[in-house]
Amino acid sequence: MITANGLRQGKAFEYEGQLWIVTSFEHIKPGKGSPFVRIKMRSLKQKKTMEKTLRPDEKIKDAYLETRKMQYLYKDNGYIFMDQKTFEQATISEEDCKEESEFLLENTEIEVIFYEDNPIGIQLPTSMNLKVTQTDPGLRGDTAQGGSKPATLETGLVIQVPLFIDEGNILKVDTRTKEYMERVSMKK
C-alpha cells in the first residue's frame, strides 16, 4: 500500500478493483482547508481517463507493472507475442489490444505489459514507419501545402496524408494520434 501523496506520473495502482496509470499528478495546498492530491488516471483495461481528488494520506494499493520486449507473431484468438530470449509465448486478448492492433505488423518488436506475470496490454513506440498499400494517385502540381487524401497502410489503418504521397511510400505515423508525420522514403 502507498499513500496518495506517493503517486507520481506513470505510476500504476489498483483503485476500485481496476488497474490505473497516473497521467497527471498535482499536490494542492489551498489557503484555507486541508491539502489534497488531484490526479488524472487512465484505466489499462477500458482505456478511459478519469480525474480524481484524494486526501494525501489516503491508502492506495500499489501495482507493479513489468514490460518485456517481445516479437509480435500473429493473430489467432488474440494476439500472440514471443520473448526472443526464452521463446516463451504470451497471448493478449483482442479486447486488451483493440486500439493498438491497428499498428501491429508481424515480426515487429513491441513492449508487452505484464501484471502479476499475466500479459495485460502492449505499449507502442510513439511513432512507426508503415508502407502505403493503397491511395489515389497524386495529381501534377500537388505540393506539401495542398489538401489531403485517405491512404491505407500495410496494417489496414486508414489515415489522411498529403496529396503527394503515393502507393509504396514509407510513412512515419504517430501511434498516439494516428496521424501522418512525414514521408520516410519514396517507393522503390
- The CATH number covering residue 152 comes to 2.40.50.140
Could you give the C-alpha distances from 153 to 10, 41, 96, 105, 109, in angstroms and in order?
Answer: 31, 31, 22, 11, 18
Q: How many CB atoms lie within 10 A of CB 59?
A: 12
DSSP helix/strand/coil, 44: coil
What is the structure's pLDDT at 138? Answer: 66
For residue range 129-185, what is the model confidence (pLDDT) as tens digits?
999 999 888 665 555 556 788 999 998 899 999 888 888 999 999 988 889 999 887
State whether 20 and 38 are in the same domain: yes
For residue range 26-54, what is the model confidence (pLDDT) as tens digits?
888 888 888 888 988 888 777 778 898 88
State whether 86 and 131 are in the same domain: no
Q: How many domains does the chain have?
A: 3
Residue 174 β-bridge partners: 127, 179
State whether 96 and 55 are in the same domain: no
Contacts of 62 (CB under 8 A, 6+ apart): 1, 2, 12, 13, 14
Containing structural domain, residue 54? 2-62
Category of 156 on φ-ψ map: left (φ > 0), alpha (ψ -120 to 50) or beta: left
State whether 46 and 80 are in the same domain: no
pLDDT at 103 over 80: yes
| Domain boundary pick from 31, 62, 93 | 62
